[in-house]
């Protein structure tokens, strides 16, 4: 069989194994061993254990469990509720202010935890019932939270960008900076849509009367008090990392420690029964991600050893595609892949194939990381995987899944249009990292 034929068989086998329910990390190792036995030799098989263990010895991987601890700590606290309530008090007079408060809350919570499902769950538990009780259309209420939750993998600290940086050997600090402007712009675009589509979201109907909510300046300030320490964490991460004062791993450690201390003192969660769920979830999620990283390293080694990666890259270049045709092809591939696989899996499985194409085409890896991430954001709110859709259904069972899906469609359209904008104006991604860290290599 030729390398391309082996690659086709590998694609089918990978698809079947991953949908069989086997944990992704172990499934990738199983596939790699089988293909090395069938198409390789004993020498190639002997290197599998060294690659698996060696990949986990990377110092950069320390950022993953530490940022996971940060997210689990904040996600288990009432920080999301306090953040939402604070924003609602300030935006109550703005048309569509309730929806805008939820979207902005998603953006800020994402900047603290780095997880899309955690963001959607934390803000959705409080925000969706409030919006529905105040006569916000259920589609807009659920769609805004589902889409806002996806910002967790774009706005730093993002586990997706960390994994991308490790796989492509790209500066994690530069990737974090690259996600800031697109993340803020998406929050603004989502909020603008909410504002345009909302006319009575700042009113409460009760006993047939319309009651206007109102908060004094003092009430607004008191509502913000508990949120300010967590916003300080965002500032600390920004200052420490982007001034070069600390490495990403050190910043993650400082942020996780600050979050743990704040949660213990602000919310009195210092008992073992309070701390145990945070630590347990941190270990579970970290082990899952690290096993996928190690399994993907073995998978990438197998593809390279059997010359599948190189052959696929040569095959793509043989089509004679122009720059824009190649960008379109890559976006379609990532969009479809995101429909079926979680973001981390897509990055770890696809980058060994895509990276040679990007390198030979002189495509900026930092810019491409944001394009890839937004495509994967769409996958989080699109069937059949649509993880955020099911998270929202779990926190708002009174809303039909069909209405949730229809509610996210305008936000999907916004993200797809924004991908096109970033393709035409890549400076929206590269300006901030180049400004603060100098031009990339």
pLDDT at 102 over 70: yes
Over the Cα atoms of the chain, what is R_g? 22
pLDDT tens digits, one per residue of 423-440: 999 999 999 898 887 786
| Cβ atoms within 10 Å, residue 427 | 12
Structure tokens of 151?
A: 């910002």
The three-class DSSP label of residue 209 is: strand
**C-beta atoms surrounding 206 within 10 Å:** 9
Cis preceding-peptide flag for 384 (omega within 30 of 0): yes
- Decide: helix, strand or coil at residue 211: strand
Predicted confidence at residue 209, as pLDDT, reads: 44
Give the model confidence (pLDDT) of 24-82 as tens digits: 788 888 988 998 888 887 777 888 888 888 888 877 778 888 878 877 787 777 776 77
pLDDT in tens, 317-343: 777 788 899 899 899 888 888 887 788
Task: Mean pLDDT check: name the lowest of 108-122, 145-159, 335-349.
Answer: 108-122
For the chain, domain boundaries: 60-437
pLDDT at 212 over 60: no
Across 208-230, average pLDDT? 67
pTM here is 0.79
Stretch 244-264: mean pLDDT: 82
Tens digit of each residue's pLDDT (9 = 90 or more) over 353-383 = 888 888 888 899 999 999 999 999 898 888 7
On average, the pLDDT of the chain sits at 82
**Neighbour-count burial for 35-70, b at 16+ CB within 10 Å, e otherwise:** bbeebbeeebeebbeebbeebeeeeebebbbbbbbb
Assess contact for 151 and 187: CB atoms under 8 A.
yes
Q: 45-49, 137-141, 196-200, 393-397 — which one is most confidently predicted on average?
A: 137-141
Q: How many helices (H) and strands (E) does the chain have?
A: 22, 2
pLDDT of residue 270 exceeding 70: yes
């Amino acid at each position: 069989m030729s390398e391309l034929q082996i690659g086709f068989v590998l694609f089918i086998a990978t698809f079947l194994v991953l949908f069989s329910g086997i944990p992704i990390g172990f499934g990738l190792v199983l596939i790699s061993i089988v293909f090395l036995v069938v198409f390789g030799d004993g020498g190639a098989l002997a290197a599998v254990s060294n690659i698996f263990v060696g990949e986990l010895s990377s110092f950069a991987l320390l950022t993953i469990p530490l940022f996971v601890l940060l997210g689990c700590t904040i996600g288990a606290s009432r920080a999301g509720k306090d953040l939402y309530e604070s924003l609602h008090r300030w935006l109550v007079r703005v048309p569509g202010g309730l929806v805008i408060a939820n979207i902005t809350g998603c953006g800020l919570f994402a900047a603290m935890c780095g997880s899309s499902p955690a963001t959607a769950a934390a803000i959705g538990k409080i925000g969706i019932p409030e919006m529905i009780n105040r006569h916000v259309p259920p589609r807009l209420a659920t769609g805004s939270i589902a889409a806002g939750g996806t910002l967790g993998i774009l706005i730093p600290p993002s586990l997706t960008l960390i994994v991308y940086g490790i796989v492509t050997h790209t500066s994690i600090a530069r990737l974090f900076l690259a996600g800031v402007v697109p993340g803020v712009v998406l929050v603004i675009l989502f909020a603008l849509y909410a504002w345009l589509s909302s006319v009575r979201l700042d009113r409460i109907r009760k006993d047939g009367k319309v009651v206007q909510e109102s908060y004094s300046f003092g009430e607004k300030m008191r509502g913000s008090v508990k949120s300010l320490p967590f916003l300080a964490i965002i500032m600390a991460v920004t200052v420490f990392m982007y001034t070069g004062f600390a490495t990403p791993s050190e910043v993650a450690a400082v942020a996780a420690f600050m979050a743990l201390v704040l949660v213990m003192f602000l919310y009195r969660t210092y008992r073992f029964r309070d701390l145990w769920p945070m630590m347990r979830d941190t270990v579970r999620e970290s082990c899952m991600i690290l096993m996928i990283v190690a399994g993907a390293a073995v998978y990438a080694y197998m593809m390279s050893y059997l010359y599948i990666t190189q052959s696929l890259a040569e095959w793509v270049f043989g089509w004679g595609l122009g720059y824009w045709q190649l960008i379109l092809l890559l976006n379609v591939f990532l969009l479809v892949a995101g429909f079926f696989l979680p973001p981390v899996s897509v990055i770890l499985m696809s980058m060994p194939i895509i990276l040679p194409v990007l390198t030979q085409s002189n495509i900026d890896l930092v810019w491409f990381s944001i394009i890839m991430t937004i495509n994967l954001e769409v996958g989080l709110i699109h069937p059949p995987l649509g993880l955020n859709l099911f998270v929202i259904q779990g926190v708002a069972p009174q809303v039909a899944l069909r209405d949730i899906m229809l509610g996210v469609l305008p936000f999907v359209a916004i993200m797809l249009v924004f991908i096109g904008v970033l393709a035409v104006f890549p400076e929206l991604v590269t300006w901030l990292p180049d400004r603060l860290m100098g031009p990339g290599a």
